[in-house]
Amino acid sequence: MNFKETVIGIELGSTRIKAVMIGRNHEVLAQGDHTWENRFENGVWTYSLEDVRTGLQDCFAGLKKDVRNKYGTELTTTGAIGVSAMMHGYLPFDKDDRQLCEFRTWRNTITQEAAEKLSDLFDFNIPQRWSIAHLYQAILNKEEHVKDIAYITTLAGYVHFVLTGERFMGIGEASGMFPIDSGKLCYDEEMVRKFNECTGLDLLSILPKIKLAGEHAGTLTESGALYLDPSGSFGAGIPVAPCEGDAGTGMVATDSVRVRTGNVSAGTSDFAMVVTDKKLKMHREIDMVTTPAGKPVAMVHCNNCTSDINAWVKLIRESLNAFGFTVDTNTLYTKLFEVALKGDDDCGDLLSYNYFSGEGVTDLNEGRLLFMRKADSKFTLANFMRTHLYSAMATLKIGMDILRRENVEIDKIYGHGGFFKTPEVGQRILSAAIDTPVSVMETAGEGGPYGMALLCAYMLWKEEESLEDYLDDKVFHGCKAVSVMAEQKEVDGFNKFIEDYKSCLKVEKEAIKCWKN
């Protein structure tokens, strides 16, 4: 095998670190993965950087093993490599590259004061999970580490720095740190000026430098190669693509980087990305980020999606085990998802809230997991499961309804992530929520690491075409996709569910107030 005709994309997701190697025809050749989980320590959702290192090494070892098993040779190099990770969060370092505080991930809702003040200052929505909100909250809190900050970054930016020694970042990932001017393809200069005046900092000196899709962002160093592969068999000197966020790689993996296209990623969290050609007025429920090429994107980001479903499936598994039955995990999920489609379109007056953590769209800094029913509700397994699938999409629907009212035009929506793994079910639920056809591509199961690999391929093998044209013409041309449109009664049923959901949010808020962590 000629490894110079391959590229490798790596993504650090919420529950899995995954690597994929693709070939010249953009087909997946080999994969590796590692399972991990965030920790809630001292009131902060976090991952340790040691877990990052060991997780990446285990994932990469799995990729090398897959190559050996399939091709009978050792993976020693590649044409290009790139890393992606869950967006946002806060990783500050001093001038000697020492970490100054715990990694504060996207899942934290501890920056409300900063987010509100910056949103007012900029007249631009700054969500709590954005890096700049975390930095400003640390300033407002007078945290000791602020005075020693030499630079701040995200998880993807940190790994990119370890691999290359460069503080570069793709523009899509950077757009989750600080607002971007899509006209000039840089951090918004007026907002930078306002922040500097407000804090006395020189913000541009501590933010990563921006790179666009297709540009080179450094080369793999000797220490970077050993960080990935401590055996030493994987060599240095490999071109590295600009690191990107999981939102951007999801867009690439579903060919959703052109204006009026969109995608929904649904797993531990869920988010919709819609590429738009117009500036929207500020909504606290909508983030404005960019594609990896810098085009503006309206983003509806929800912290909570499938975690509550996973917990209920685990409980059902324990019930089966108590009676001596053992069911394969995939079979259990598939059967329960399929049963959900047999439920009533409005879930039979059942209601649930899947808030493991706070949720910005519904203005909650914390979450409580609730399931509710009335005495005369239709309490069946089908309605129970359908309720939890609706709940997983409910907060997303609230945000997407705002885009509809803003007359944001969408030609197509693609779904990807675990929520769509069972054929048709997740698509039909999302379609009912947003009253739009939902498509799933045959490559959608590859997700973010595949999207990162495609960005490496674009950097290495592009000619003069745009990212949009490269994906349309050279990657996804002729790619099969399955589209599903919910029936009108399903759309009406979800609308009834969401009205009850919004009316009873006061119950969720009261539960947070009364039942303290």
* Percent of the residues in the chain that have a pLDDT greater than 90, as a whole number: 87
- Better-scored residue on pLDDT, 29 or 280: 29
Is 450 in a helix, a strand, or coil? helix
- Rg of the chain over Cα atoms, rounded to whole angstroms, equals 22
Mean pLDDT (the chain, rounded): 95
* 2 burial type by CB count under 10 A (0-12 exposed, 13-18 middle, 19+ buried): exposed
The pLDDT of residue 517 is above 90: no
Listing DSSP states for 163-187 in one string gives HHS--EEEHHHHTTTS-EETTTTEE
Kindly list the strands in the beta sheet with 16-22, ordered across the sheet, starting from the edge strand earlier in the chain: 28-35, 16-22, 7-12, 80-85, 244-245
Each residue's pLDDT tens digit, 417-468 = 889 989 999 999 999 999 999 999 876 555 789 999 999 999 999 999 999 9
pLDDT tens digits along 31-88: 999 999 999 999 999 999 999 999 999 999 999 999 999 999 999 999 999 999 999 9
Q: For the chain, which residues make up each domain, given as ranges?
A: 3-242, 307-443+481-514
Contact 231, 58 (CB under 8 A): no
Q: Would you say 503 and 352 are in contact if contact means Cβ atoms under 8 Å apart?
A: no
Check whether domain 307-443+481-514 has CATH 3.40.50.2000, yes or no? no
What is the number of helices (H) and of strands (E) in the chain?
17, 22
- Fold matches, 3-242 and 307-443+481-514: yes
pLDDT value, residue 149: 98
pLDDT for 133-190, tens place per residue? 999 999 999 999 999 999 999 999 999 999 999 999 999 999 999 999 999 999 999 9
Q: What pTM does this model have?
A: 0.85
Which residues touch 469 (CB under 8 Å, ≥6 apart)? none
| Arithmetic mean of pLDDT, 186-202 | 97
Kindly report the backbone phi and psi dihedral angles of residue 299, in degrees, each rounded to the nearest multiple of 5, phi listed first.
-120, 130
210-247: per-residue pLDDT in tens? 999 999 999 999 999 999 999 999 999 999 999 999 98
- Sign, CA dihedral 131-135-137-138, equals positive
Q: Return the CATH number of 3-242, one of 3.10.690.10, 3.40.50.1010, 3.30.420.40, 3.40.50.300.
A: 3.30.420.40
What does the pLDDT look like over 281-312, one tens digit per residue?
899 889 999 999 999 999 998 989 999 999 99
Least Cα distance to 75 among 234, 204, 218, 296 occurs for 234
% of the chain with per-residue pLDDT over 70: 99
Q: What is the torsion angle, in degrees rounded to the nearest 10, for the CA atoms of residue 223, residue 224, residue 229 and residue 232?
A: -40
pLDDT score recorded for residue 446: 59
| Distance between CA atoms of residues 230 and 412, nearest Å | 44
Q: What is the DSSP letter of 364?
A: B
pLDDT of 479 higher than 90: no
